[in-house]
């Protein structure tokens, strides 16, 4: 499905699908049927994402997200629910895709239900990202990438691996206990990658905090640089693997 859409994009708009660019869809959560979204959620999602909030009381050992803290946009949630988390870089496939189970309208209603119950201060976070971009404005692109490369090699490669595919040495040594995301498949925008890296996975609803909050180690400028570096790295690895 992704490849298909990518080829359309390449033909249509000569875009290169370096990241796992999802097909663009757009909908307004205000127009959706929240009652139906809530009903479907409680029937089919709450068994793992218990009541959205209480992730620890799930009966499965699958570490689902606390969806109240998600940083994903409605469109990104739609894609994840449609295709499952593994499609976008999770190394586990605990969360399947619901494409063949729900209609597109039903998925949109579920997303609207989740999104109207979010509990994140995204505005503040957005401002931080915009400021981090300004910090590097006097630097050359090469300097930014070099700084980002150093951070990546020092702090990220052990888990996310030499080309971002989540096959670092720490993953191999953990005997199946550590599941970093494959960054070559990520759905996240630059801004979201920045915020995820700065605050760590727990902040955004992960039930384990395997992905540390790097904001306590690195400046916003350094985190901005590592995101720039990841973008280039991902582009290279997708060029060589296709
Ligand atoms: C079998 C357990 C299970 C079920 C059932 C399930 N999920 Fe998930 N879900 C997960 C896990 C586990 C993750 C996190 C995957 C990871 O990080 O590797 C997740 C992640 C997500 C995310 C991504 C959140 C983020 O911020 O990255 C969304 C959105 C989501 N689930 C929505 C749903 C919806 C809607 C349903 C019902 C249609 C559902 N899930 C059913 C286990 C489940
Ligand atoms: C100890 C292992 C570990 C290290 C070191 C690590 N990560 Fe992660 N990273 C993870 C795990 C685990 C996840 C998935 C978290 C979850 O969803 O529960 C993740 C997820 C991410 C994501 C989100 C991807 C997505 O699509 O949701 C980004 C971005 C990221 N890491 C960037 C970085 C950067 C940048 C560094 C270095 C500064 C780094 N990570 C270092 C383990 C690690």
Position 61 pLDDT exceeds 90: no
pLDDT at residue 54 in the model:
47
**Taking 70 as the threshold, does the pLDDT of residue 95 lie above it?**
yes
- Ligand 1 atom nearest to CA at 111: 35
Asked whether the beta carbons of 220 and 132 are under 8 A apart, the reply is: yes
Q: What angle do CA 85, 53, 20 make, to 5 degrees?
A: 20
Cα separation of 68 and 117, whole Å? 6
Report pLDDT digits (tens) over 97-150. 999 999 999 999 999 999 999 988 778 888 888 888 888 888 999 999 999 999
**Do the domains 25-115 and 122-241 sit in the same CATH topology, yes or no?**
yes
How many whole angstroms separate alpha carbon 52 and alpha carbon 224? Answer: 31
Question: Hey, where are the domains in the chain?
Answer: 25-115, 122-241
Q: Is the CB of 49 under 6 A from ligand 1?
A: yes
What is the SS3 assignment for 147? Answer: helix
Per the listing, tokens 């971009």 go with: 133
**122-241: CATH topology:** Cytochrome Bc1 Complex; Chain D, domain 2 (1.10.760)
The finding on whether 219 has its CB within 6 A of some atom of ligand 1 is no
Residue nearest to atom 43 of ligand 2 (CA): 211
Is it the case that residue 233 has pLDDT exceeding 60?
yes
Query: Is there an atom of ligand 1 within 6 Å of 70 CB?
Result: yes
Residue nearest to atom 14 of ligand 1 (CA): 64
Tokens of 109: 């209603």
Crossing angle for the helix pair 74-83 and 104-115, to the nearest 10 degrees: 130
Looking at ligand 1, which atom is closest to the CA of residue 102?
Answer: 38
160-212: pLDDT as tens digits: 999 999 999 999 898 888 889 999 999 999 999 999 999 999 999 988 888 99
- The pTM assigned to this predicted structure is 0.89
Q: Is the CB of 20 under 6 A from ligand 1?
A: no
What pLDDT does residue 48 have? 85
C-alpha 115 to ligand 2 mean position (Å): 23
Instruction: Give the per-residue pLDDT at 21.
Output: 65
pLDDT at 7 over 80: no
Q: Is the CB of 65 under 6 A from ligand 1?
A: yes
Pick the CATH number of 25-115 from 3.40.50.970, 2.30.110.10, 1.10.1060.10, 1.10.760.10: 1.10.760.10
Residues near 224 by beta carbon (within 8 Å), at least 6 away in sequence: 129, 132, 133, 135, 136, 144, 194
Region 56-70 average pLDDT: 72
Average pLDDT, the chain: 85
What are 142's two structure tokens? 């090469």
pLDDT above 90 covers what percent of the chain? Answer: 60
The preferred substitution site among 155, 180, 196 for testing ligand 2, maximizing ligand atoms within 8 Å of CB, is 180
pLDDT on residue 15: 37
* Shortest-distance atom of ligand 1 to CA 76: 29
Note whether 181 and 89 are within 8 A (CB).
Answer: yes
Separation CA 89–CA 201 (nearest Å): 14
pLDDT of residue 88: 92
pLDDT at position 8, please?
39
Q: Where are the alpha helices (DSSP H) in the chain?
A: 2-13, 34-44, 74-83, 104-115, 122-135, 141-151, 157-160, 169-173, 190-199, 220-241
Q: What is residue 11's predicted lDDT score, i.e. its pLDDT?
A: 35
pLDDT number for residue 109: 97
Q: Retrieve residue 224's tokens.
A: 């901005």
Which of 224, 218, 234 is CA-nearest to residue 143? 224
DSSP string, 188-225: --HHHHHHHHHH-TGGGT-SS--S--GGGTS-HHHHHH
Ligand with smallest separation from the Cα of 118: 1
């Amino acid at each position: 499905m992704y490849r298909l859409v990518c080829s359309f994009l390449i033909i249509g708009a000569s875009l290169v699908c370096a990241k796992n660019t999802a097909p663009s869809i757009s909908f307004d959560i205000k127009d959706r049927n929240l009652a139906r979204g809530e009903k479907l959620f409680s029937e089919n999602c709450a068994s793992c994402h218990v009541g959205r909030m209480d992730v620890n009381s799930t009966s499965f050992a699958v570490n689902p997200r606390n969806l109240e803290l998600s940083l994903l946009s409605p469109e990104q949630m739609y894609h994840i629910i449609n295709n499952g988390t593994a499609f976008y870089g999770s190394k586990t496939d605990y969360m399947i895709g619901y494409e063949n189970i729900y209609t597109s309208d039903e998925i949109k209603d579920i997303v609207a239900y989740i999104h109207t119950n979010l509990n994140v201060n995204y505005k503040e976070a957005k401002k931080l990202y915009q400021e981090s971009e300004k910090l590097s404005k006097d630097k050359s692109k090469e300097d930014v990438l070099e700084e980002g490369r150093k951070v990546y090699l020092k702090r990220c490669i052990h888990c996310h691996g030499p080309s971002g595919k989540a096959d670092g040495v720490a993953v191999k040594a953990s005997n199946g206990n550590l599941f970093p995301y494959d960054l070559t498949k990520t759905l996240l925008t630059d801004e979201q990658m920045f915020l995820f890296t700065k605050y760590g996975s727990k902040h955004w609803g992960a039930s384990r905090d395997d992905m540390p909050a790097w904001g306590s180690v690195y400046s916003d400028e350094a985190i901005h640089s590592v995101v720039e570096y990841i973008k280039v790295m991902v582009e290279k690895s997708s060029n060589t693997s296709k």
